[in-house]
Amino acid sequence: MDFSRWHTPRAGAAGGSRLDTPRSASESWRRSPVRRRSPVRFLVSILLLASAAADTIPASLDRMKRSVVETETETTRRWLAGDPDMELPEGADTGQLDILATVTRPALDRLLTLLDKDGRFGDIDYTSTNRGRWKVVRHLHRVRMLAIAARTYPEKDQPAIHGAFHRALGWWVTTRPRNENWWYGEIAIPRYLGVTAILMEDELRSDEREFIAGAMKPATISRTGQNRLWLSVNVALRGLIEGDDALVAQAVSEAFGTADVTTGDEGIQPDFSFRQHGAQFYQGNYGHHYLLNIAYLMRLVEGGPYAADSKAKTTIGRLALDGTRWMMCGELLDHAAVGRQISYPNRIQGPPLASVCDALVAVNSGDADALVQWSRSIRTNRPAPEPQGTRHFWRSDFAINRGMNWMASVKMCSERTLSTETTNEENLKGAYLCEGMTLLYRNGQEYRDIFAVWDWNLLPGVTSRSTAPLPPASEWAGIPGSGRFVGGVSGDQIGLVAMEARRFGVRADKLWFNDGGGLWAWTENISSDGGGNIVTTVNQCLSRGPVLRRESAGGTAIWHNGWAYLFPRPDCEPSVGQAKKSGRWSEIAAGETNTPDERDVFLLRVDHGEHPSGASLLYRVQPMERNEFERAAFEGMASAVSGSAGVRAIETADRAGVVFHQAGSIDLAGFGRIESDGPCLLTLLRNQHQVGLSLCDPTQSRTDLTLRVGGRIHRIELPRDGMAGSTVHIKN
């Protein structure tokens, strides 16, 4: 690394003269060592410095460095100016890489208090060797926070901040901790040190510079998906520090090369889901960090020679709005979307996505009004009214159903996709995560930090054995599902999702129908091999307040915490439990706390007995306040209709969802006879004198389909390649 391009720190830099008000990044970018010279000599010096800078650092790099400083310090500067949006919500995991740190006064005071004379923070476990969440790397996150404080806080705070900064960085330089996981050495450590070096360019000591030079060398471009983007950003930071314009240009080009739709296993998919580690759904965790990093980089280079092109901006805008936004409930990114890291506490992940919205608006990437609305929803932690309907991500076997004041996700797996992994000994009990797990949200708090105490045999929406032991990881972790029939029909009012569950000796045919006001779930043909009681879990969430139960001609109705659960068939006997449960995070993620955690848990399930054959369960979940539940009439809400073998439907007055597991027919009261010449999912919505038809092929294997609806024949060419399984909309 050529350190001739780095400024030499002046004597007494740690306590030099500064304004007694928060500095903007532009004011503090270049701190001239000649400010006390005579006016003439001062002017000559400025001209000489400008000339030298022009010879050593291209203007494009200088501009990008300023942009790094402005971006890294923006949230803190705005907080110091009194902007309430700039404080991360309580409990947000600020140790995550890529969160733009808000260095509030309480946060700064806490850092200074925790730091000892040797440069270690009192609350960090420096003995940690965990590959998944290595506690020690938080030390560098805090070094970066101190660098941000040095750029933003007034003069009176600077001696303490600079002293703490050099002690903390000095400890890392001297100790040089390592982790066996390559990710820390090639991604996390270079990222923190690279940003810190740019923030504190004038202030670094020679030993600190030399160490950072060596630590940045592993930053080379390789791998795929989000890992490739992380590495590309690190190489760009290295190029900035070295003053290597060609290296920066190459790194930025490689980074934006990932901002493209692919039909390969990893990256942004045609349905704007995100996959990593093969054909594995990862909108949270890897996909979450992808949005943070790509938006960060787009903002850094906007307006300069490295700026992203319109195609990349369009793709990222759609990934954000047509993908991730659907999975958000206020500040929460759906727990089902975070992959193996569901096994960690405080994985809300949503708060930093507000900064992604800001960045995408700034670079004109996506619908600005929608981005602003989404950002407001995150920052106020209030679920947004839009979007509504059902969005099925056919490339990742994942579906979101949304109404005016509710959201439900359905996580599945097929022979085309991989189930959730256990890399780095994380997610040790996640056997049933992809077997139709259905999470229900109204405020995003329903499952907050429940996972240490969850009964992992009884995941919401799943039909499974109720007793331990769980299936071994070798039978599910990061491997394809066992069925082909998995899919969903998207729509802005209604939607339909279905899967054939065929794992762990349990068979069940499942469908979920979003009728706009709630979600119908119908599981048919339940059977099992081997022993053990088979159950379908309707919900297992945090217990909040009383449980009410009503019996009527419309069936059994149960209410808890803003949700009504309706069981219309008299042969169904739901079981309700409320109890304090205990568990340890270390049991689901190695290296996490072994201290028992206790939570009050609500469990609603239906038992099918041992060795069921052809058992079924129909129920509806609907958002409802207590007073409404107490007077509601549940009769006649919908009809569950069976047709020829393998054909069934849920029908209301003007809408229906039909599942054809094979060619067959069915008669519906409001739509007449419907026939299909092969497997498909179909929704029907009457609008005045027309019927809107939406359909998909859940097997993703057919090229065409023939439907007969009410006597009218439709010969439909089905989407192919990366669009196979997507929704086709026609009129009857």
Query: What pLDDT was estimated at residue 442?
Result: 97
Lowest mean pLDDT among 634-638, 639-643, 692-696: 634-638
**Which has the closest alpha carbon to 49: 59, 70, 34, 38?**
34
Level-2 CATH architecture, domain 638-732 = Sandwich (2.60)
Say which CATH class 390-634 falls into: mainly beta
User: pLDDT at residue 474 above 80?
Assistant: yes
What is the DSSP secondary-structure string of 681-699?
EEEEEEETTEEEEEEE-TT
Rounded CA separation 249/235 (Å):
10
User: pLDDT at residue 460 above 70?
Assistant: yes
Query: What pLDDT was estimated at residue 6?
Result: 45
The order of strands in the sheet holding 519-528 is 486-489, 495-503, 506-514, 519-528, 613-623, 563-567, 555-560, 547-552
Domains of the chain, by residue range, sit at 1-218, 254-387, 390-634, 638-732
Range 254-387 has CATH code 3.30.420.40: no
Query: Residue 57: pLDDT band by 50, 70, 90 thresholds?
Result: low
Q: What is the DSSP letter of 9?
A: P
Lowest mean pLDDT among 2-6, 129-133, 452-456: 2-6
Cross-strand partners of 705 = 716
pLDDT in tens, 407-431: 999 999 999 999 999 999 999 999 9
Rounded CA separation 538/546 (Å):
17
Would you say 70 and 25 are in contact if contact means Cβ atoms under 8 Å apart?
Answer: yes
Fill in the amino acid letter for 130: N
| 189-195: average pLDDT | 95
Would you say 527 and 614 are in contact if contact means Cβ atoms under 8 Å apart?
Answer: yes
Query: What pLDDT was estimated at residue 335?
Result: 98
pLDDT in tens, 65-79: 999 999 999 989 988
Rounded CA separation 352/101 (Å):
9
What is the DSSP secondary-structure string of 287-314?
HHHHHHHHHHHHHHHTTSTTPPPHHHHH
Rounded CA separation 568/618 (Å):
7
Calculate the dihedral angle through the C-alpha atoms of 83, 84, 86, 89, rounding to the nearest 10 degrees.
Answer: 170
Query: Residue 726: pLDDT band by 50, 70, 90 thresholds?
Result: very high
Q: First-to-last CA distance in the chain?
A: 68
SS3 408: strand
Would you say 194 and 296 are in contact if contact means Cβ atoms under 8 Å apart?
Answer: no
What is the DSSP secondary-structure string of 506-539?
EEEEEEEEE-SSSEEEEEEEEEESSSSEEEEEEE
Would you say 7 and 201 are in contact if contact means Cβ atoms under 8 Å apart?
Answer: yes
**Which has the closest alpha carbon to 88: 98, 77, 103?**
103
Would you say 668 and 533 are in contact if contact means Cβ atoms under 8 Å apart?
Answer: no
Fill in the amino acid letter for 243: G
Rounded CA separation 101/454 (Å):
32
Rounded CA separation 635/227 (Å):
53
Cross-strand partners of 714 = 707
Instruction: Give the ranges where 176-278 is alpha helix by DSSP (H).
Output: 182-183, 189-199, 206-216, 225-242, 245-257
Q: Beta strand pairing status for 506-514 and 597-610?
A: unpaired
